[in-house]
Structure 1
Amino acid sequence: MSFESRRIFKSAVTSQNLIRELLQLMFLGDLIAPGAERVWLVSPWISNVVLIDNRSGGFDAVDPQWSGREIRLVELVIALMSRGSPLGVATSLDDHNEAFLRALVDVATEAGLDEKLTIVRRELLHTKGILMRGGLLTGSMNLTYSGLELNDETVVYDIGKKALAEARLNFEAYASENAV
């Protein structure tokens, strides 16, 4: 039996680890076999959340510099960019996003990867999605601690070619807007 999409209902006490593990697999898959297509993070509120717990060293083979610590979103997307994947971030104008965006731009500039980074700010953005080479995660969840850990959320993970292509067209439209 195969599937193209899976719906996950998460609360603070159910399926929380499932979404974290899914995000880990999505990022690790693209880190191991990066693509030339832009990775998209679309979230009205976004933070530098912990996505991989490598305190046991289980992911050292992916990046030896990760040894014995938690890995946050900025470090993961910089690793993707350094392996050839451009990154698009679409977020709202909310001040909450400033710390994440500032950290991302600073690290990308320091690593000489700033031309691989596209940031779009939209006043009325409510769309949420993470688009990688092999999968799309959409739903109600923002990329924040509350979204991952506390809030009740519904997300859909999709690997269907039609859904990925449709999301890519819509997210790439953001790139044609004023980038900052």
Structure 2
Amino acid sequence: MPTLDLWSNAANWQLRTLFRSALGSLLMVDNPTSSKPVYLCSPWISDFVVFDNRFCDFDVLVPSCSGTPRIWLSDCLRQLGKLHEVRVVSRNTEVSRQFFGRLGLSSGVETRYAADSLHEKGFLTPHFYFEGSMNVTYSGVHINAEKVAYHAGDDAVVVERIGRAYLELNRRWGQMAS
């Protein structure tokens, strides 16, 4: 299945489960086969719990959170930054500044603020690409009615879509001030 279209609402668990699974799969790869960065792009981005870790089920994915009951998006991105080059793009808003502050300067994650006209939302990796209406916030993943397309696999159409997304995000990244 190269592309999966999801329409979500507060009662729909598919989007948040897919988001968790995709992020978890990246955290399991300790020897990346690609030199391409992981991009997270969202006009609004905030911290939220990704993994319920009350039973330590996810300790292996984010060792720095071993024994803690909740693993947050910022924890996941810091761990991911140890495995891959990670680039996060957002507008310069109070919520985004707080999130970037939680990531920390030495997290291995590069952050940049885009122009206020940024409205693009996506999660791009060499293996999959989320795109659609979902902001990377608690509300975007858990509450709001969203439409997201998930592209994965080695189908020629998917490979081309991911390649085009990399061309565009790399170009935009280069235009933004660090």
TM range (shorter): 0.7 to 0.9
Distance 1:96 1:32 in 2: 29
Q: Is the 8 A contact 1:90 1:174 kept in 2?
A: no
Equivalence for 2:93: 94
1:90-169, aligned counterparts within 5 Å? 90-104=89-103, 106=104, 108-109=105-106, 111=107, 113=108, 117-159=110-152, 160-169=158-167
1:1-180, aligned counterparts within 5 Å? 3-13=1-11, 15=12, 17-33=13-29, 34=32, 35-64=34-63, 65-83=65-83, 85-104=84-103, 106=104, 108-109=105-106, 111=107, 113=108, 117-159=110-152, 160-180=158-178
Normalising by structure 1, report the TM-score.
0.85
Distance 1:137 1:101 in 2: 21
SS of corresponding position for 2:139: helix
Distance 1:8 1:25 in 2: 15
RMSD: 1.7
Q: Percent identity?
A: 27
Shift of 1:134: 1.1
In structure 2, the CA distance between the partners of 1:179 and 1:66, relative to structure 1 (3 Å rule), is farther
Distance 1:40 1:103 in 2: 18
Q: Is the 8 A contact 2:122 2:129 kept in 1?
A: yes
Shift of 1:128: 0.3
Unmatched tracts of structure 1, length 5 or more: none
Unmatched tracts of structure 2, length 5 or more: 153-157
Q: Is the 8 A contact 2:60 2:66 kept in 1?
A: no
Residues 25-63 of structure 1: CA deviation (Å, up to 9, x unaligned): 211211111443211110000001111122222222334
Shift of 1:117: 1.4
Shift of 1:68: 4.3
Shift of 1:144: 0.9
SS of corresponding position for 2:175: coil
Shift of 1:120: 3.4
In structure 2, the CA distance between the partners of 1:66 and 1:138, relative to structure 1 (3 Å rule), is farther
Shift of 1:20: 1.6
In structure 2, the CA distance between the partners of 1:177 and 1:52, relative to structure 1 (3 Å rule), is same
SS of corresponding position for 2:59: coil
Distance 1:66 1:36 in 2: 28
SS of corresponding position for 1:176: helix
Residues 75-114 of structure 1: CA deviation (Å, up to 9, x unaligned): 111101112x11111111333211001222x2x42x5x3x
Normalising by structure 2, report the TM-score.
0.86
Distance 1:76 1:42 in 2: 16
